[in-house]
Structure 1
């Protein structure tokens, strides 16, 4: 008689363990890369002002430049649009979307993989 409750307990515990481990797989943040995710945002929003030879601003033409300037990039794209330091300027390009800014933030949090 004692074997039945033990078997039920073991089965229940097994189900809990399986459900816990499978739910963690779905919650992990996807890896963000410069080449796939970040470069298109920079290219679309920062060209031509930050792309030499036309650009006369801080160059953001490659991974190293963007990585070195990510703190300032994040600060400037999150300013109020009426702030003169807001990027990109409204008369040149549309503001980054909330999703694009979140992607930049996550990339920074993931140590900016190339």
Structure 2
């Protein structure tokens, strides 16, 4: 009789454990890459925003470090998303090529991830 009680307790326990999120793989889980300023954003800024936003040649808002880029990320994203014909589009077409869709998406994702350094 004791064996039956143990089995009766084990079946619901097994059912609960099999439904735990840690016990099974979640098919809806998406591995989101952690975007950082140093590894991902800084190279885009250095390549696309120099020399205009890099002192001493730069005469615009400086983007030479994490704090400055973080402060201006909303306006950076807004400017790189403008139509290329817009005079406020960045970077100016006569100076640097436009950012790719992937680069723009990376900046947006970095902003959404609270801009880790």
Q: TM-score, normalised by structure 1?
A: 0.82
Q: What does the per-residue CA deviation read over 1:77-110, in whole Å, with 9 as the maximum and x for residues that have no partner?
A: 0000000000001111110011101110110011
Q: How far is 1:23 from its partner?
A: 3.2
Q: How is 1:1-114 mapped onto 2 (pairs within 5 angstroms)?
A: 17=20, 18-19=23-24, 22-23=25-26, 27-114=30-117
- Superposed CA deviations along residues 23-58 of structure 1, whole A, max 9, x for unmatched, are 369513111110000000000000111000011111
Q: Structure 2: 5+ residue runs without aligned partners?
A: 1-9
Query: Following TM superposition, where does structure 1 have runs of at least 4 consecutive aligned residues deviating by more than 3 angstroms?
Result: 7-19, 23-26
Give unmatched runs, 5+ long, in structure 1: 1-6
CA distance in 1, matches of 2:52, 2:40: 20
The structure number with the bigger radius of gyration is 2
- Aligned-partner SS, 2:60: coil
Q: Secondary structure at the match of 1:103?
A: helix
Cα 1:24–1:48 change in 2 (3 A) is farther
Q: Normalized per residue, which structure has more helix? A: 1
